[in-house]
Amino acid sequence: MPHLQLPRRTFLKAAGISIALPTLESLPRAVGGDEPKNPQRLVCIGNEFGMYPGAFWPEKSGADYELTTLLKPLKAHRDEFTLFSHLDHGLKGGHFAVHTFLTGVKAAEAKGMPEGGISIDQRAAEFVGSRTRFPSLTIGSEDGLHGGCMMSWTRTGTRVPPIPGPRELFRSLFVEDDTNAKRQAADRIELQASILDAALGDAKSLQRRLNKSDRAKLEEYLAAVRDVEVKLDLDRHWQNIPKPNADIDEPENEGLTRDLPKIYDLITLALQTDSTRVATLEIGGSFAASDLGIRKGYHGLSHHGKLQENLDLLVQIELYQTEQFARFLEKLRSIREPHSDGNLLGSTMVLMGSGMGNANSHTNNDLPIILAGGGFKHGEHKAYPSESRVRVPLCNLYVSMLQRFGVETDQFSTSTSTLTGLETA
């Protein structure tokens, strides 16, 4: 893979300050370091309404727990995943707190955080940098309650817009633009760079006249500029590098429910071809229960009122999701790594969960969390303290995952440490 060339506009002059391109952990390695033969990958999967606790949580913890109705599809992978109970972010807000699943913090409270409201997938994507064509892929839709899952967030509090379906994902991964389209894209990149420079010139002229409050707003603006700078340089870098070939036909979009297997297959191909090492799948309210022969809506059933008829239908929806998750794990396990005796699952951390603990009562505690693969020692239901004064933040798990990914950090969002009891194989 060609190395990233340092951009000619290495430094931007704005507000009397030299603003360098972000020094990502991946940049020195991309320029002069060695690539690992089998790099770590990260896939995050979340749904909008959680899992029905009565069909999800086992009564026992440890290695000999009994697989519940929603966990039974994972039987073949029992030794390849860990179930975590009593992990959450300590937040309230019902549907509005679902969006904190991968960030640990509400957007309105993120400005005071050292890394803003960045989500774990985007933190990992920063580390990947230019090594892959797509530092990350987010797949989902804009539909759903309060905008859908909205799982992926940048440092500056911007939601990463999702790729809406398998057809668009396939085209991004495998379909080359023609010569004219490539020329237009190159022109667009240069135009955007020129506009960016002009905007920064305006920022410089304003700086001396700003009060303290406005200077803080300007800093937020400059942070957003750095995001754009990085994206433009990545776009330049990958403009003339051919995309990999795919042995499958372009899929059609049929709605999230029917598309789920196709999306998982495309994520697998994206990882296998090293087109990306970070992928996020948002399963929102656009998930159509009608495609499973269910006449009631997913959101309505999540507020089941403890009626058995509603519970049976809700579990049917969630069972389909865990079945497709199990199929995805099997697909990853079946692919051998080219430089070792391992498989793709062994080098891919796959997180499945939600920012909603119990949709019926609108609570955001006791989140349903499963972590598979990634070289961790699995096979247990790990139960952490349930008492409020000694609860363990979910972000502790995220620190352990980021470290496994290769990020040199001992903190993420509201973490207090790494997660105790999580060992590598």
pLDDT band for position 100 (50/70/90)? very high
Average pLDDT over the chain, rounded to an integer: 85
The domain ranges of the chain are 1-35+177-242, 40-175+249-405
Burial of 192 (0-12, 13-18, 19+ CB in 10 A): middle
Give residue-wise pLDDT tens across range 349-361: 999 999 999 999 9
pLDDT at position 108 is 84
371: β partners: 82, 351
pLDDT at position 19 is 31
DSSP 110: G
pLDDT band for position 226 (50/70/90)? low
pLDDT at position 143 is 67
Within 8 A by CB and 6+ apart from 231, the residues are none
Q: How would DSSP label each residue in 297-343?
A: -HHHHHS-TT-HHHHHHHHHHHHHHHHHHHHHHHHHHHSBPTTSS-B
**What would the mean pLDDT of 272-276 be, rounded to a whole number?**
95
pLDDT band for position 3 (50/70/90)? very low
C-beta separation of 345 from 376 below 8 A: no
On the question of pLDDT at 29 being above 50, the answer is no
Backbone φ and ψ of 285, nearest 5°: -70, -10
pLDDT band for position 12 (50/70/90)? very low
* 33 vs 267: which has the higher pLDDT: 267
Cα separation, 404 vs 422, in Å, equals 11
On the question of pLDDT at 62 being above 80, the answer is yes
pTM for this entry: 0.82
pLDDT band for position 401 (50/70/90)? very high
Packing angle, helices 256-272 and 308-334, rounded to 10:
20
On the question of pLDDT at 303 being above 80, the answer is yes
Please state the three-class secondary structure of 29-40 as a single string: HHHHCCCCCCCC
C-beta separation of 86 from 386 below 8 A: yes
For the ranges 19-33, 213-227, 263-277, the one whose mean pLDDT is highest: 263-277
On the question of pLDDT at 262 being above 50, the answer is yes
**What would the mean pLDDT of 267-294 be, rounded to a whole number?**
94
pLDDT at position 5 is 41
pLDDT at position 6 is 35
pLDDT at position 205 is 64
C-beta separation of 230 from 41 below 8 A: no
Cα separation, 357 vs 347, in Å, equals 28
pLDDT band for position 20 (50/70/90)? very low
Q: Which CATH number fits domain 40-175+249-405: 3.40.50, 3.40.720, 2.60.40, 2.40.160?
A: 3.40.720
Burial of 376 (0-12, 13-18, 19+ CB in 10 A): buried
On the question of pLDDT at 25 being above 50, the answer is no
**What would the mean pLDDT of 314-339 be, rounded to a whole number?**
96
* 226 vs 134: which has the higher pLDDT: 134
* 71 vs 96: which has the higher pLDDT: 71
Give residue-wise pLDDT tens across range 229-259: 666 676 676 777 889 988 899 999 999 999 9
C-beta separation of 4 from 237 below 8 A: yes
On the question of pLDDT at 214 being above 70, the answer is yes
